Structure 1
Amino acid sequence: MRRHRDGSWSEKIRFTLDRRDTVPALLARRARRHPKDVAVIRTDEVGASRKITADELQVEVQTLARGLVGRGIRPGEAVAILSSTSYEWMLLDLAILSVGAITVPIYESDSAEQIAHILSDASVVEVVTATTQQAELVQTVRTPSVRSVAALDKGFMRELQGAAKTIPPSAVEQRLSRLDLDDVATIIYTSGTTGRPKGVTLTHRNFVGTVESARQILPEIVENPETRLLLFLPLAHVLARYIMHLILSGRGVMAFSPDVKNLLRDIAAFKPSVLLAVPRVLEKVYNAAAAKAGGGLKGRMFSWSAKQARDWSAGSEHALGPSPALRLRHRIADRLVLGKIRDVLGPNMKFIVCGGAPLATDLFRFFVGTGLTVLQGYGLSETTGPISVQRPGANPAGTVGLVLPGNRLRISRDGEILVKGVSVMQGYWNLPSETAQAIEDGWFHTGDLGSISRKGQLTITGRKKELIVTAGGKNVSPEILEDSLATHPLIANVIVVGEARPYIGALITLDQEMLPTWLRNHGLAPVDAAHAADLPAVRESLDKAIARANSAVSRAESIRRFRIVDAVFTVENGYMTPSLKLRRSAVLKDYAHEVDALYAEGAREGDR
């Protein structure tokens, strides 16, 4: 790493891009160099799988691209995809880009109002949905620019293949020859945690440059023919889409899991070596394993083994490594519990790549302690996904890695993370004033707070807009406390509050999936979440967890009181983003009465 005079950091590795290095060229290069590489394994509705080589995939993409030309899609026009993660999503994205058009992803969870905004703002000309039901929803908010709405379950891919028959391959070749590195590849409407979605404009340079960055620093994943990645995160999210193009550009094999309910079944069938996940997924895996262990001896055995995993991981970060006694305990824990967790993730699993939100340190150390390499990254839609990523052998807990080659990173005077380089967006679509506010002198203001170590490792310390200032003037970052409580099996969500209040408090929702198992393991009769909130055992367990979280912060920053809220926060009801981050502003707005009640209770009891 290199530190510059202005305090910014960059990677010493350098690379250059040619104007023809576009997203479709990534697959074309692989098909040319390694035509018989298995690039994708496709599974149909009845569970039968088919291996698709790089050259076969290239032919499919080119056929669909000819079909788009036949349907009248012109360079620079926007085509929207509203579908779950699937093989078809990937094909459509590559075909759209191959004819010089712009891919506009739409989340399956987006409301009619959000869809209408996207169609209008991006001047979308065609919408492709997964289902007829989704197509009918789009029809209700169809804007004048939309010429067609088609559904995959109505045979749209066959329609494209039919439309291709009258279009010669040279038509697509001409489009590709005119495609430039700085042409717009996609407009991604950020789900965000606050405000109305904005269209993040990403070019082919953004995608290809960020792909090339990762190829430079993670060859053991990207260029390894034994790499197997199962994609289940929504491809409408920039991280999943970027990883898809990254794996296609290398030597790995990819498969898709459209429904997260079938994830464990798909993992067992595909046997991936890399798991791309957001922290909430890893929390679910951990809590499910703890719940399966139950109470009594098995529960104590799991807790002891989990502690050995975390201690072994922490010890591995020191120069001398874990002590001999800890190594012995870790081997015992591996035989008792940890090896079984690896078995669930499959015999090939080696890497967990985690992004989208901060991963709690305890959770990071637990999975490292199971024998897996956990690589955390940090980035936003505005940075084409990752702007920093950990590398094998350089992945200390609590950090999100080193800045990617081709980019620079620094911390402003007020602690905000600023970035510039090949990964940074062109701007916000149709929003020049907001673009000017976000990018000053080439530096993109992320809105996140962080610090950089002497070795260039980035640590996220909070969100600038989410800093809490108490009535006493104390600045508190809620993420530190919230992350510490994330792995408690009873907690679905925790929202730390205290803006202009005398002390810090918290709203907690109970995990309704885990609650029945937790009650059974503790010898309690089954009750719903509303009644569980009044159980002494539940409150005692939460009290202990909060006390542990408070031990990492000062008295002024600690949670003094909490209130259990009878609510469920989901993507569907608008309180979670598709990457499973809580929309704090929406929760605090709609549950302001719960915050008031929390402090009213404290006032009555004299807790100041």
Structure 2
Amino acid sequence: MRESTVPALVTTPPAGGLADVVFERAEKAPDHVVLARRDPSGVWRDVTAAEFRDQVLALAKGLLAQGVRFGDRVAVMSRTRYEWTLFDFALWSVGAQPVPVYPTSSAEQVHWILHDAEVTAAVVEHEDHAMTVGSVIDRLPRLRRLWQLDAGAEDRLAAAGADIDTEVVHRHRLALTPDTPATVIYTSGTTGRPKGCVLTHGNFMAECDNVVRRYETVFPSRSGEQASTLLFLPLAHVFGRMIEVGAIRSGVRLGHQPDLSAAALLPDLEAFRPTFVLAVPYIFERIFHAARRRAEAEGRLEPFDRAVEVAVRYAEAVEQKAFGTGPGPGAALRVQHRFFDRLVFSRLRAALGGRCRYAMSGGSAMQRRLGLFYDGAGIRIIEGYGLTESTAAATANPPERTRFGTVGVPIPGTAVRIAEDGEVWLRGGQVFTGYLGDHRATREVLHNGWLATGDLGSLDGDGYLTITGRKKDILVTSSGKSVSPTPLEDRVRAHPLVAQCIVVGNDRPYVAALVTLDPDAVHHWLTMRNKPEMGPAELVRDPDLESEIRRSVVAANTLVSQAESIRTFRILGSQFTEEDGLLTPSLKLKRKAIEKMYAMEIEALYQT
């Protein structure tokens, strides 16, 4: 199949903007709970539609009083927290455009985004962020206002706007149309400076409304238990932003968690008890590996591994039945599954709050086996695919007919085409209008309504998309063999000890790899083998560790031909980090930067 199209379930309204739903819901159901906010004591307090509307309105008045005008761009630099959502909808209420900035951004990255977007004001989380902006403020002549969340920005703005008439806000809000720019989100910038993707109110409406309607089992809007999610993805990323908007538009109870450490996240999951969660595959991998390490430390590794096998086989049988290729789990398998559900799977679900039955995953590929394990354990992970340019998801797996290892079918209102060279092209109401001020780059990716993604993929006979790599990442060895590094890297990274893997070999005689280690997994591995703690230099030379990593490389090589296989590898003593300029804020590898920093190590891989 070369093209797959799914008709829209919801059409974009002819007028209005994203903030309208805040006021409409408060009018129709003022007591409906739409968010939850932690109070200073750490207790989750519900926020009703009427309360949220009043907070948005007060903040919108304050923004107007402080000089924010229709069409202005306002930067928001913060971790994921309640105030971000509040500012988003307040800014949209006055026709302004939030410009998200990752909280880990360097001063030069901040300068580029604020300068390129010509922002007139900025919201930062704390003093460190304020100092980062302050260090480049002399090169930002358009920046007139700076507000700090931890210094009471919300209350100060509300007080400043107390005398503004409510009708002034409504006049701004009612001037919006679906074609009005809603936000400018900057790409991760793996190969050069980030580009600003201009996304309209209509882009978000087309995306969120069709996703919510198609995935009603995840976003139930009818009577019964209210859906809820604890959002810990960065709101600077389009995936988190889409869920924020979708939750508000669909009435899902939304909470925010800024700290991804297990010590902070797990207690909040237990207290908030979400019905679904959103994460990148790395998070699901960490949860699985942590559970396996805990089982090994408690002397329960053998039953845990048996439970994993049962979960995978059970999920495969369910998958086969959904596609009409099998009868479903047999009696013996169902008995084994019930046994391990009490022993293992229920503990995994309890760690996510006990009510979670669905998860959404995006940002990178998930291993089929990992998705099957979670499904067999009672949590269906809906893997999808999209870009900033497509307002997040363009495809996703149907919850009732999930094909693990793929990124699903087009969401309603979307078409997917595979070009002659294997590139994935997308078309739909969620596809962006272009890059801010960069007409040349826009022309390179938009072709008569189709978005050329730069990703390589294939469609099966049922219209399910599989991503096989990235055009720019393809390696060509000196013998002329083309190699897609992503599947190899993902398979090596599936090993519990491996944190990251980068495959190299461009213009080289063969393919090789650099591997970094997970410190927690290494500590556990050393403890379970009664080995002393080692420094990085000693650790990377340990023959037992090298043997472990070699097993992951051998497993990866089973995916490809001998000419494409990893011939040799080197274990590095430290991970690739964003601080070192080797990862994007969304944790993607900056390949050129890594190859430059580790040029000597890569050269050594090719010394005979």
Secondary structure at 1:81 match in 2: strand
1: CA distance between counterparts of 2:62 and 2:299? Answer: 62
1: CA distance between counterparts of 2:418 and 2:356? Answer: 35
Match of 1:68 in 2: 63
Match of 1:148 in 2: 145
1:273 to 269, 272, 275: 275
1:52 to 37, 47, 54: 47
Secondary structure at 1:104 match in 2: strand
Letter in 2 for 1:588: E
Cα distance change, pair 328–548 in 1 and its aligned pair in 2 (3 A)? farther
* Residue pairs, 1:117-136, within 5 angstroms: 117-136=112-131
2:301 to 299, 302, 310: 299
CA RMSD of aligned residues (A): 1.6
1:43 to 31, 38, 41: 38
* Residue pairs, 1:384-423, within 5 angstroms: 384-423=391-430
Are the counterparts in 1 of residues 198 and 436 from structure 2 also a CA contact under 8 Å? Answer: yes
Match of 2:324 in 1: none
Unaligned stretches of 5+ residues in structure 2: 322-326
Match of 1:253 in 2: 253
Secondary structure at 1:459 match in 2: strand
Deviation at 1:38, TM superposition (A): 0.8
Instruction: Indicate yes or no: 2:188 matched with 1:181.
Output: no
Cα distance change, pair 563–327 in 1 and its aligned pair in 2 (3 A)? same
Deviation at 1:323, TM superposition (A): 3.5
Deviation at 1:298, TM superposition (A): 1.6
Are the counterparts in 2 of residues 278 and 579 from structure 1 also a CA contact under 8 Å? Answer: no
Deviation at 1:295, TM superposition (A): 5.6
Are the counterparts in 1 of residues 7 and 414 from structure 2 also a CA contact under 8 Å? Answer: no
2: CA distance between counterparts of 1:48 and 1:339? Answer: 25
Match of 1:344 in 2: 351
Secondary structure at 2:274 match in 1: coil
Unaligned stretches of 5+ residues in structure 1: 604-608
Deviation at 1:553, TM superposition (A): 2.1
Count of residues in Structure 1 that have an aligned counterpart in Structure 2: 596
Are the counterparts in 2 of residues 30 and 250 from structure 1 also a CA contact under 8 Å? Answer: no
Deviation at 1:296, TM superposition (A): 8.4
Cα distance change, pair 369–486 in 1 and its aligned pair in 2 (3 A)? farther
Alignment deviations for residues 310-353 of structure 1 (CA, whole Å, 9 cap, x no partner):
22222222131233333333333333322221221121011110
Q: Which segment is superposed worse, 239-248 or 28-37?
A: 28-37
1: CA distance between counterparts of 2:26 and 2:494? Answer: 43
1: CA distance between counterparts of 2:297 and 2:520? Answer: 17
Instruction: Indicate yes or no: 2:227 matched with 1:227.
Output: yes
Are the counterparts in 2 of residues 403 and 409 from structure 1 also a CA contact under 8 Å? Answer: yes
* Residue pairs, 1:64-463, within 5 angstroms: 64-142=59-137, 143-224=140-221, 225-261=225-261, 262-294=264-296, 297-319=299-321, 320-463=327-470
Are the counterparts in 2 of residues 231 and 276 from structure 1 also a CA contact under 8 Å? Answer: yes
1:476 to 470, 483, 491: 483
1: CA distance between counterparts of 2:215 and 2:494? Answer: 29
Deviation at 1:297, TM superposition (A): 4.4
Instruction: Indicate yes or no: 2:513 matched with 1:506.
Output: yes
Q: Percent of aligned pairs with the same residue?
A: 39
Cα distance change, pair 113–564 in 1 and its aligned pair in 2 (3 A)? same
Are the counterparts in 2 of residues 512 and 529 from structure 1 also a CA contact under 8 Å? Answer: no
Match of 2:28 in 1: 33
2: CA distance between counterparts of 1:92 and 1:506? Answer: 44
Are the counterparts in 2 of residues 489 and 518 from structure 1 also a CA contact under 8 Å? Answer: no
Match of 2:473 in 1: 466
2: CA distance between counterparts of 1:149 and 1:361? Answer: 46
Alignment deviations for residues 387-425 of structure 1 (CA, whole Å, 9 cap, x no partner):
111121121111111112222210000000001121111
Cα distance change, pair 164–223 in 1 and its aligned pair in 2 (3 A)? farther
Cα distance change, pair 162–296 in 1 and its aligned pair in 2 (3 A)? closer
Letter in 1 for 2:226: E
Deviation at 1:193, TM superposition (A): 2.1
Cα distance change, pair 94–110 in 1 and its aligned pair in 2 (3 A)? same
2: CA distance between counterparts of 1:589 and 1:367? Answer: 38
Q: Which segment is superposed worse, 298-307 or 86-95?
A: 298-307
Cα distance change, pair 494–440 in 1 and its aligned pair in 2 (3 A)? same
2: CA distance between counterparts of 1:104 and 1:594? Answer: 39
* TM-score normalised over the length of structure 1: 0.95
Letter in 2 for 1:420: R
2: CA distance between counterparts of 1:136 and 1:297? Answer: 49
Letter in 1 for 2:444: Q
Are the counterparts in 2 of residues 295 and 522 from structure 1 also a CA contact under 8 Å? Answer: no
Q: Which segment is superposed worse, 315-324 or 348-357?
A: 315-324
Match of 2:493 in 1: 486
1:550 to 557, 564, 567: 557
2: CA distance between counterparts of 1:32 and 1:150? Answer: 30
2: CA distance between counterparts of 1:535 and 1:331? Answer: 41
Are the counterparts in 2 of residues 287 and 488 from structure 1 also a CA contact under 8 Å? Answer: no
Deviation at 1:252, TM superposition (A): 1.5
Q: Which segment is superposed worse, 526-535 or 422-431?
A: 526-535
Letter in 1 for 2:64: V
2: CA distance between counterparts of 1:530 and 1:282? Answer: 30
Letter in 2 for 1:287: H
2: CA distance between counterparts of 1:582 and 1:311? Answer: 33
Alignment deviations for residues 201-250 of structure 1 (CA, whole Å, 9 cap, x no partner):
11111111111111220112223452110011110111001101101111
Are the counterparts in 2 of residues 377 and 400 from structure 1 also a CA contact under 8 Å? Answer: yes
Are the counterparts in 2 of residues 39 and 54 from structure 1 also a CA contact under 8 Å? Answer: yes
Q: Which segment is superposed worse, 380-389 or 527-536?
A: 527-536
Deviation at 1:538, TM superposition (A): 0.7
1:591 to 582, 592, 598: 598
Secondary structure at 1:220 match in 2: coil
Are the counterparts in 1 of residues 349 and 355 from structure 2 also a CA contact under 8 Å? Answer: no
Secondary structure at 1:386 match in 2: strand
Q: Runs of 4 or more off by more than 4 Å in structure 1?
A: none
* TM-score normalised over the length of structure 2: 0.95
Deviation at 1:118, TM superposition (A): 1.0
